[in-house]
């Protein structure tokens, strides 16, 4: 086992940016070197995927959605799960009615509302958060096959990570900034050819946001859909732009097609960010850079013996530090790929390599890309029920691995 992992977000959120964390981490680390106690400001914090990925000591996290912010504040206070949570249509509509009753009687800022918000988010259609004109939550039942709900202990663990962060509800322009804040702004996507409000955020809002970010004296980063007018707007405001392929998004109609994303920066050196996101090569480069910055010696493509099938076993990377040698196997899966079906065999091969050599102490199996349906099953230890591998192999998402590698903590065992 490794040192304690940062929990991932408990929420499903449209436009969640967990996939962007490996790109943002080096930028955030460079900022911290210059500003050691710097603060992360997210005017559109949503599911906290980015803040949880960057793990700032100080953070100001804002969103216009009061139920979302109530949820985070209740988690900070130690959210206890007392309500029944099952993937059941009747229960869903009963919980939805109770949530709406709490809103109607002014009790939406409560622990009960936070539990209901969490349950509705996980169980409702596509994780959507929609309200009708009278402010009532109206998302239908989601029809998922299985849902794993977090327990009180999971929320307690998350609470420890977010304890010192400040949460606010409101429009982004109301935020009180400090000149050296690092702003990461992730507004609702611009939807081209409309001037009216899309996702509650109109074109006029997009323009005001660009002006607001331009007025900030410190580091400012913006992600958005790379529509022509967003590109023009940020170019005109003097930002530097790079383009990335967003994995897939959830939209109201369930469209999951890839989107071209733009990352715009002021007072941040984004030239270091690799721009072709969807290849195993970039995945490998990112992992290597993180290992080196965490103080590991790295060698690539090493023949370490034979696999149980008799074929040569070539490992992607070996990382060494303090006399500990780690085998690192990188698996990349695009949409509807089959890499995930090979994971149990890869675990067996890694265990076999460790058992047959005193040189290799432990292994990491890193899951990158966005085509996984079993990533959570693997990274939460689901395979352990069938295969006792935990002393030798850690299965981890790319984002988590990059974070631990950067901190130089891969080789340490938890107590
Ligand atoms: C694309 S999402 C952010 C996703 C987030 N980065 C994540 O990883 O989950 C945009 C967020 O902006 C919020 N929002 C919409 N209009 C806003 C406004 N005017 N001011 C602040 N937040 C707003 C929405 O509630 C939503 O959570």
Which residue of 64, 209, 250 sits with most ligand 1 atoms within 8 Å of its CB, as the best mutation to test the pocket? 64
In the structure, which protein residues have their CB atom closer than 6 angstroms to any atom of ligand 1? 13, 15-17, 43-44, 46-47, 49-50, 62-65, 171-172, 186-188, 200-201, 205
Counting from 1 in the atom list of ligand 1, the atom nearest the Cα of 65 is: 25
Domain boundary among 249, 272, 295: 272
* Cα–ligand 1 centroid distance for 188 (angstroms): 6
* Cα–ligand 1 centroid distance for 414 (angstroms): 36
Q: Which long-range contacts (CB under 8 A, 24 or more apart) does 280-285 make?
A: 280/330, 280/332, 280/368, 280/369, 283/330, 283/332, 283/368, 283/369, 283/398, 284/316, 284/317, 284/330
Q: Does 396 share its domain with 306?
A: yes
Domain boundary among 119, 152, 185: 152
- For ligand 1, atom 12, the nearest C-alpha belongs to 44
Q: Does 130 share its domain with 212?
A: no
User: 11-31: per-residue pLDDT in tens?
Assistant: 999 889 988 888 898 899 999
Q: Does 316 share its domain with 362?
A: yes
Q: Does 258 share its domain with 324?
A: no
- What the block records as the tokens of 189 is 């996507």
Counting from 1 in the atom list of ligand 1, the atom nearest the Cα of 63 is: 22
- For ligand 1, atom 20, the nearest C-alpha belongs to 171
* Cα–ligand 1 centroid distance for 40 (angstroms): 15
Helix or strand holding residue 317 (H, E):
strand 312-321
* Cα–ligand 1 centroid distance for 63 (angstroms): 6
Q: Does 60 share its domain with 180?
A: yes
**Angstrom distances, CA of residue 387 to CA of 102, 343, 383:** 46, 12, 6
Q: Does 242 share its domain with 291?
A: no
pLDDT-derived band of residue 113, with 50, 70 and 90 as boundaries? very high
User: 309-364: per-residue pLDDT in tens?
Assistant: 999 999 999 999 888 899 999 998 876 678 889 999 999 999 999 998 888 999 99
Q: Does 357 share its domain with 329?
A: yes
Residue 4 has pLDDT above 70, yes or no: no
Overall average pLDDT of the 219-237 stretch: 94
Helix or strand holding residue 248 (H, E):
none
- For ligand 1, atom 27, the nearest C-alpha belongs to 46
Give domain status of residue 1, yes or no.
no
pLDDT of res. 256: 47
Overall average pLDDT of the 225-248 stretch: 88
Give domain status of residue 10, yes or no.
no
Q: Which domain holds residue 197?
A: 18-64+170-272
- Cβ atoms 162, 60 nearer than 8 A: no
Q: Does 77 share its domain with 60?
A: no
- For ligand 1, atom 14, the nearest C-alpha belongs to 64
Of 235, 241, 280, 279, give the one whose Cα is nearest residue 261: 241
- For ligand 1, atom 11, the nearest C-alpha belongs to 44
Give domain status of residue 385, yes or no.
yes
Q: Does 54 share its domain with 174?
A: yes
Compare 196 and 27 and report the one with higher pLDDT: 27
Q: Does 314 share its domain with 370?
A: yes
The total of structural domains in the chain comes to 3
pLDDT-derived band of residue 270, with 50, 70 and 90 as boundaries? confident
Q: What percent of the chain is predicted at pLDDT more than 90? A: 64
Domain boundary among 152, 180, 207: 152
Q: Does 195 share its domain with 325?
A: no
Domain with residue 304: its CATH number is 3.40.1350.10
Residue appearing with tokens 């958060």: 129
* Cα–ligand 1 centroid distance for 145 (angstroms): 28
Strand 58-63 and strand 39-42: pairing? Answer: parallel
Q: What percent of the chain is predicted at pLDDT more than 70? A: 90
* Cα–ligand 1 centroid distance for 64 (angstroms): 7
Which residue of 24, 52, 63, 206 sits with most ligand 1 atoms within 8 Å of its CB, as the best mutation to test the pocket? 63
Give domain status of residue 371, yes or no.
yes
Q: Give the three-class secondary structure for 225.
A: strand
Q: Does 186 share its domain with 46?
A: yes
Counting from 1 in the atom list of ligand 1, the atom nearest the Cα of 129 is: 25
Overall average pLDDT of the 65-85 stretch: 97
pLDDT-derived band of residue 193, with 50, 70 and 90 as boundaries? low
Residue 386: Cβ-neighbour burial (10 angstroms; 0-12, 13-18, 19+): exposed
Which residue of 44, 61, 121, 224 sits with most ligand 1 atoms within 8 Å of its CB, as the best mutation to test the pocket? 44
pLDDT of res. 208: 98
Domain with residue 177: its CATH number is 3.40.50.150
């Amino acid at each position: 086992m490794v040192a304690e992992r940062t929990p991932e977000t408990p929420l499903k959120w449209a436009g969640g940016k967990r996939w962007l964390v490996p790109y943002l981490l080096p930028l955030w680390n460079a900022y911290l070197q210059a500003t050691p106690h710097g603060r992360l400001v997210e005017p559109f914090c949503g599911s906290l995927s980015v803040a949880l990925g960057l793990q700032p000591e100080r953070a100001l996290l804002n969103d216009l959605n009061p139920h979302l912010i109530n949820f985070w504040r209740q988690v900070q206070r130690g959210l206890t799960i007392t309500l029944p949570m099952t993937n059941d249509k009747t229960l869903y509509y009963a919980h939805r009615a109770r949530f709406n009753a709490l809103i109607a009687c002014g009790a939406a800022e409560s622990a009960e509302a936070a539990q209901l918000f969490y349950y509705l988010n996980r169980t409702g259609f596509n994780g959507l958060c929609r309200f009708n004109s009278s402010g009532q939550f109206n998302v239908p039942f989601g029809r998922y096959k299985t849902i794993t709900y977090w327990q009180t202990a999971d929320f307690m663990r998350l609470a420890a990570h977010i304890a010192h962060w400040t949460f606010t509800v409101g429009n982004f322009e109301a935020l009180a900034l400090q000149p050296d804040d690092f702003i990461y702004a992730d507004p609702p996507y611009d939807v081209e050819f409309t001037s009216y409000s899309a996702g509650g955020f109109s074109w006029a809002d997009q323009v005001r946001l660009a002006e607001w970010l331009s007025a900030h004296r410190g580091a400012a980063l913006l992600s958005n859909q790379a529509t022509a007018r967003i590109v023009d707007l940020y170019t005109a405001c003097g930002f530097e732009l790079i383009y990335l392929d967003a994995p897939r998004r959830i939209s109201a109609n369930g469209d999951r097609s890839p989107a071209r994303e733009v990352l715009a920066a002021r007072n941040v050196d984004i030239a270091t960010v690799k721009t072709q996101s969807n290849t195993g090569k970039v995945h490998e480069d990112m992992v290597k850079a993180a290992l080196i910055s965490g103080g590991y010696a790295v060698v690539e493509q090493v023949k370490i013996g034979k696999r149980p099938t008799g074929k040569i076993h070539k490992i992607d990377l070996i990382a060494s530090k303090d006399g500990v040698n780690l085998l690192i196997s990188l698996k990349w899966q695009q949409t509807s790929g089959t890499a995930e079906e090979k994971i149990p065999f890869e675990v067996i091969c890694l265990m076999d390599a460790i058992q047959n050599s005193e040189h290799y102490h432990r292994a990491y199996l890193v899951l990158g890309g966005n085509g996984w349906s079993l990533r959570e099953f693997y990274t939460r230890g689901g395979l352990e029920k069938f295969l006792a591998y935990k002393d030798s192999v850690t299965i981890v998402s790319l984002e988590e691995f990059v974070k631990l590698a950067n901190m130089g903590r891969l080789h340490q065992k938890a107590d």
